[in-house]
Amino acid sequence: MTTVTVNTYTHSVVYVADNILKSLKDIIREVGLDPSKLMGDYETNMRALRSWLSSQDLRQVNLEIFDPDTDALITRWDLDIAYGWSPATYRSTAGMARQSLGSTIEHSGLGASAAYWRKT
C-alpha cells in the first residue's frame, strides 16, 4: 500500500512540475517574449521543481516581467503551491492589481493556483 501512495505522489509531483513549466512557457509566449531560454533549461528547471515539490518546500512560483531599462515591473504572475515557503524579493506592485485565476493545475490533491498583476 505504501508503494502505491509513493508512486501516486511521485506521479503527481511530475505532473504538476511539468504543467508549471508549460504554464510559464505559455505566459511568456502570450506576452510576446521568447520562451526558448526557459525551455532550453527545461531539465534543470524540472529537476528543481520536482525536488521542491517532493520535499514540500515550494510555496509559490513567480514570473516577473519587467522593463530592463527602468527595472519597473510590467506584470507578475504567481503560481501558488499549498505548502512551504521560499523567500524572495519582488519589485513593487504599486499601481497594479492582482487578478486571481483560481486553481489551474491539480492532481491527486497536489496543485497550484495562478494569479497575475496588471496596471490599474
What is the rounded distance in angstroms from the CA atom of residue 68 to the CA atom of residue 5? 45
What is the rounded distance in angstroms from the CA atom of residue 49 to the CA atom of residue 55? 10
Domain residue extents for the chain: 2-119
Please choose, from the candidates 84, 82, 78, 80, the residue with its C-alpha nearest in 3D space to the C-alpha of residue 108: 82
Strand 110-119, strand 96-107: pairing: antiparallel
What is the rounded distance in angstroms from the CA atom of residue 2 to the CA atom of residue 96? 46
What pLDDT is recorded for position 9?
73
What is the rounded distance in angstroms from the CA atom of residue 83 to the CA atom of residue 92? 24
Distance of CA 109 to the CA centre of its chain: 17
Reported pTM: 0.67
What pLDDT is recorded for position 10?
80
For the sheet containing 73-81, what is the strand order? Answer: 60-66, 73-81, 110-119, 96-107
What pLDDT is recorded for position 11?
81
DSSP symbol at 68? T
What pLDDT is recorded for position 84?
35
**Considering only the top CATH level, what class is 2-119?**
alpha beta
* pLDDT tens digits along 45-104: 999 999 999 998 888 999 999 999 999 999 999 998 864 374 567 789 999 999 988 877
Please choose, from the candidates 114, 52, 116, the residue with its C-alpha nearest in 3D space to the C-alpha of residue 84: 52
